[in-house]
Amino acid sequence: MTSQLRVYVPEHPLIKHWLGVARDRNTPSVLFKSAMTELGRWLTYEASRNWLPTEDIVLETPLAPCEATLINPEPPMAIVPILRAGLALLDGAQTLLPLASTYHLGLVRNEETLEATCYLNKLPETIDSNTRILILDPMLATGGSMIAALEALIERGANPELFRIISVVAAHPALQKINQYNPNLIIYTAMIDPDLNEQGYIVPGLGDAGDRAFGTL
Ligand code: URA
């Protein structure tokens, strides 16, 4: 049996609400930024299910001994926002994963060829293969930037089985390309949209996420 990329679209009213706010062309930049923070938070919440390492312990309540489960702080954890737009999801993700390191990765796509080029790489030279890595990119359009990010992580030693990818809108072309690259990856997204336009923007999408989050329209 061949494996297939797992793409989860959580059925949560908060995710639907903030996606609607983000999609609306009349949403001002300040509210768009809040919507992305909330989407980063709730998608991280969903993605961290069955992914965060826990440990079972016995502790004392004020009344009696009690079994409990806590997050295990030992295995390394990292968040990789793909700049610029991935930064808009970072605050929400960090509130849930305060112990994670943040490694910024700046990728810009050539508007004609749609190829991604790296302009900032704050990844460490080597990455422990036990590191759980949450990769943030709100718009999976062609998949080019995501694959460049995955390659950069894997060539430093990271184990893709421990990756979780978070996006807000994922388009079919990106999902197909990522599936061809590695069908064992796991993606959490607020929505899957069908198409790209000629400029490589997702339709209906939400426009340029970086410009809308940083008020540079
Ligand atoms: N990047 C964006 O910000 N929006 C798109 O629709 C595609 C890529």
Q: What percent of the chain has pLDDT over 90?
A: 94
Q: What is the pLDDT of residue 116?
A: 87
Hey, which of 169, 177, 201 would you mutate to test ligand 1's pocket, going by the most ligand atoms within 8 Å of its Cβ? Answer: 201
ipTM over 0.90: yes
Mean pLDDT of the chain: 96
**CA-based end-to-end distance of the chain:** 46
Determine if residue 40 is labeled as part of a ligand binding site.
no
CATH, domain range 6-214: 3.40.50.2020
Backbone angles phi, psi at 65, to 5 degrees: -65, 150
Average pLDDT over residues 77-91: 97
- The string of pLDDT tens digits covering residues 123-134 is 999 999 999 999
pTM: 0.96
Q: Give the pLDDT band (50/70/90) at residue 210.
A: very high
The average pLDDT across 7-14 equals 98
Q: What share of the chain is helix, strand, coil (3-state, %, to 5)?
A: 35, 30, 35
Instruction: List, chain by chain if needed, residues with CB within 6 Å of any ligand 1 atom.
Output: 85, 139, 141, 201-202, 205, 208-210
Mutate to test the pocket of ligand 1, among 208, 214, 217 (most ligand atoms within 8 A of CB): 208
Over 90: is that where the pLDDT of 110 sits? no
Name the token pair of 205.
């999408």
Does pLDDT of 67 surpass 90? yes
What is the CA(212)–ligand 1 centre distance, in A? 10
H/E element holding 211? helix 209-214
